[in-house]
Chains A and B, each alone.
Chain A
Amino acid sequence: MNISKHRAFLLLTAVEVAVVVALVAHARGVAADLAATHIPAKREVAARLGLTDLAIWTEARYTRHPSQTDLFSPFQDFPSSLEHFPAGSVVGVPDLTAFRQPAEP
């Protein structure tokens, strides 16, 4: 069978769009299932144990608990030190726009 090039292209594009739509629909279905099951269960774990951070980087205090770490400039252990832990490179600079001022007496 001889199929013209534009038909083949349009067919290929339609198949690609269908695959993207199917993957996105699948992802949304999985997300909805997880939101209904695992997310509340994980939130319960965080609430019961009083957890404040995700257990992703266990190399150092400031990577294990980025939200609880000391108020240093990021990742300086001593003057002129180079970055020890690759995970440090993943973390961005802190957002200081909402830096809280002491309340008026």
Chain B
Amino acid sequence: MENLDQLRSDVLQRVSESETLEALDGVRVQALGKKGEITGLMKTLGGLDPEARKAAGQALNVVKQEVADAIEQRKAVLEEAALEAKLAEERIDVSLPARPAHVGRMHPISQTMEELVAIFGEMGFSVAQGPHIEDDFHNFTALNIPPEHPARQEFDTFYMNEKEDGSRPVLRTHTSPVQIRTMQNAEPPIRIIAPGRTFRADHDATHSPMFHQIEGLVIDTETNMGHLKGTLIEFCRSYFGVDDLPVRFRPSFFPFTEPSAEVDIGCTREGGQLKIGAGDDWLEILGSGMVHPKVLEACGIDSTKYQGFAFGMGVERIAMLKYGIPDLRTFYESDLRWMKHYGFVPLEMPSMVRGL
């Protein structure tokens, strides 16, 4: 079977010389197809005696298998080359910009309020809200600010038109009326924060006719000024993220608290740059005190049995301090550039366990 060796090497050479899948398939048909050369030789086996047939058949089968394997291998190589050629063909400029997708930013006031909720929520304060257009009782009288009180002048109150009954609604000058409404409607123990819009007739570089406050109120039978200190020191340190932040309590006056305290935090002002932290200067950020007995009584709470503290601060102010926003007025201008720069990606809600 010398011609078998010849055929084998011929076919294998043709396989290895096939440059396309089509050519390779041609080689396969020529060798192994129904009328192929190897198939033809198989057919001749029938004419041989059994011994010779067995030997020739085995030899032929080896060659047939060898050729089939060679074709498979060549096919894989050619397929790989074809895929590579196709991919090379498909190449595009991936430096082209992606399709635009814009995620909006959350306003610093919202972010700050969420942070405040996270901190005070952890301390067991729930969130209370109330109307912006208030009556005189809730905004002033119940807070121990009678009409002639000099403190009233300091509030620069916006009034609404007088009503038929002679009363004159006010735009709330602080969120304290929410405290009053809460005390009127809930039994102690009370532990709330009241964030929201407030209004004062003042408009300059550091005052806006509308701004936001957050106030806190705790009423029960034993909360004292030590708890007030502990709560506010803890708050200041976690809000500003400064563990050793010095916090100072100074006596002050608010008609609705007695004793009253203003709260300062430590800071430095080197080269006009304000930095929150231990330093040689103080920055006032909070007003606070023990709820005045007259306020408790005005809300129908027995001041001989219950006591507690209240505090309040400006939301914009602490946002400006924490995030380095220089100008109060820009908070309400809705300048797209400002929103992009100072706004927050709405990625995760502030939370004490995740870290503020």
- On whether the two chains bind one another, the answer is no
Name B's A-contacting residues (CB within 8 A): none
Name A's B-contacting residues (CB within 8 A): none
